[in-house]
């Protein structure tokens, strides 16, 4: 079972200013449409190829999410990151839909470094 984090826990940690790397495990078109503020795009089927460059610090606090609870992309990506030696990875299993339902902000488009 992968370690998880709830929306409330995530919001609390972000509000405290904790350094958390948010990772969306959905394909790029979904990421471009809306993603959590500051999130990186790391599709679950590209973790091995992209994680070394996108996530160079294996000790960083990382929260992975996907679309919603039925979507398994974030759990798959979280398991893979843990297997690759990342030590502080959590799955926000309720995902982007839960974030949106709570009225929390999102961003659109690609991050500046990926453009």
Residue 112, domain member (yes or no): no
Rounded mean pLDDT of the chain?
Answer: 95
Residue 115 is predicted with a pLDDT of 34
pLDDT above 90 coverage of the chain, percent:
93
Backbone angles phi, psi at 79, to 5 degrees: -60, -40
Confirm whether pTM is higher than 0.85. yes
Residue 1, domain member (yes or no): no
pLDDT in tens, 80-105: 999 999 999 999 999 999 999 999 99
* Domain, as residue range, for 59: 7-106
Provide the number of structural domains found in the chain: 1
Backbone angles phi, psi at 2, to 5 degrees: -80, 150
Residue 50, domain member (yes or no): yes
Residue 81, domain member (yes or no): yes
């Amino acid at each position: 079972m992968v370690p998880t984090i709830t929306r409330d826990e995530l919001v609390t940690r972000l509000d405290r200013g904790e350094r958390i790397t948010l990772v969306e495990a959905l394909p790029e078109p979904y990421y471009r449409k809306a993603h959590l503020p500051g999130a990186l795009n790391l599709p679950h089927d590209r973790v091995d190829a992209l994680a070394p460059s996108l996530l160079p610090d294996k000790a960083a606090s990382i929260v992975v999410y996907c679309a919603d609870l039925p979507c398994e992309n974030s759990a798959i990506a979280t398991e893979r990151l843990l297997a690759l030696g990342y030590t502080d990875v959590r799955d926000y299993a309720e995902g982007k839909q839960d974030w949106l339902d709570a009225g929390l902000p999102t961003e659109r488009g690609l991050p500046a470094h990926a453009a």
